[in-house]
Structure 1
Amino acid sequence: MENVFDAKDAQNYIDRINKLTSETPGLWGKMTVDQMLAHCCISYEMVYEPEKHKKPGSIAKFILKSFVKPKVVGEKAYTKNGPTAPQFIVTERRVFEDEKKRLIGFIQKTQQLGTSAFDGKESFSFGPLKSQEWNNMFAKHLNHHLAQFGV
């Protein structure tokens, strides 16, 4: 698995994103390319702009930590057409270039902050995570959706 904290790997993600156009079709799923970029930004918004999202309550957080966390932060890839958490669903169209720029900025910021900034950092839904868990979560999500759009 790629390392989102490594400059070369982060640049690889950016290069893949730069291959997308506003007309790139998805190979599966319902999202348009602009919606996919906005969807991918949500993981980063929960880190860098948490005020945009409602935090899960204690019961929901327990369920997320117990059942969802291992699938999200583990190394096994996501399956096609898997379930999407409600807060990650993007139904309205977005401005492709704006979402592309935001996602690239989040990838760059994460890489520049590095592993030490994420080791033990509190996750919106899962509590404190190790930097490797953050890496797995970000890398798996990016790989899944960039593959969805053929890049």
Structure 2
Amino acid sequence: MNSLFNTDTQADIIKRINNLHEKSQPKWGTMDVGQMLTHCQKPLEVANGNLELNTQIGFAKKLMFKLFKPVMYNDKPWQKNLGTVKEFRITDTHEFHAEKDKLVHIINEFSTKKNKQDWPAHPMFGTFNTEQWGKMQYKHLDHHLTQFGV
């Protein structure tokens, strides 16, 4: 499984981001390209410790998310049109170039943390180790870049 902590994988993701343009259209889903770039920043900001979510979930959902957790970082691609937490839903307009530059910056910040041990807890899935964070962030970006055909 690819990881954003792998230098070649990181470079490939950034190359794919740079292949996007303002008129890139999704193959599925409702976000436009600016919204998608903004959406992709959010999980990285959580991992980087720059965004804290106060998502409260009950016991039954916690159990369900615990069972679903390995899907976040295993080798299988994510399904199209998966749901997301409300804090990651982007519905307003976002400027393409600014959001693209910001996403690349956040990816670069994240990728320097391959030796980090004290990751923040994910608001729904709990703790992830460094390897899982790297795989999960790659998988999320790959999912959305595939959504936009790059």
**Do they superpose with TM above 0.5?**
yes
Aligned to 2:140: 141
Which stretches of structure 1, 4 residues or longer, exceed 3 Å deviation after superposition?
A: 55-61
Aligned to 2:104: 104
Structure in which a larger fraction of residues adopt helix: 1
For 1:73 and 1:61, the matched residues in 2 are separated by 19
Aligned to 1:122: 120
Report deviation, 1:113. 2.1
Structure 1: 5+ residue runs without aligned partners? none
Residue correspondences, number: 148
Aligned to 2:9: 9
For 1:49 and 1:90, the matched residues in 2 are separated by 18
Superposed CA RMSD in Å reads 2.1
Amino acid at match of 1:92: D
Amino acid at match of 1:150: G
TM-score normalised by length of structure 1: 0.85
Structure 2: 5+ residue runs without aligned partners? none
**Are the structure 2 counterparts of residues 139 and 64 from structure 1 closer, same or farther at C-alpha, using a change threshold of 3 Å?**
farther
Q: Are the counterparts in 1 of residues 122 and 128 from structure 2 also a CA contact under 8 Å?
A: no
**Which 10-residue stretch deviates more, 53-62 or 135-144?**
53-62
Report deviation, 1:132. 1.8
Q: Are the counterparts in 2 of residues 55 and 124 from structure 1 also a CA contact under 8 Å?
A: no
Q: Sequence identity, in percent?
A: 32
Pairing 1:14-53 to 2, within 5 Å after superposition? 14-47=14-47, 48-51=49-52, 53=53
TM-score normalised by length of structure 2: 0.86
Pairing 1:51-62 to 2, within 5 Å after superposition? 51=52, 53-56=53-56, 59=59, 62=62
**Are the structure 2 counterparts of residues 61 and 42 from structure 1 closer, same or farther at C-alpha, using a change threshold of 3 Å?**
farther
- Structure 1 residue matching 2:14: 3-state secondary structure: helix
Report deviation, 1:74. 2.9
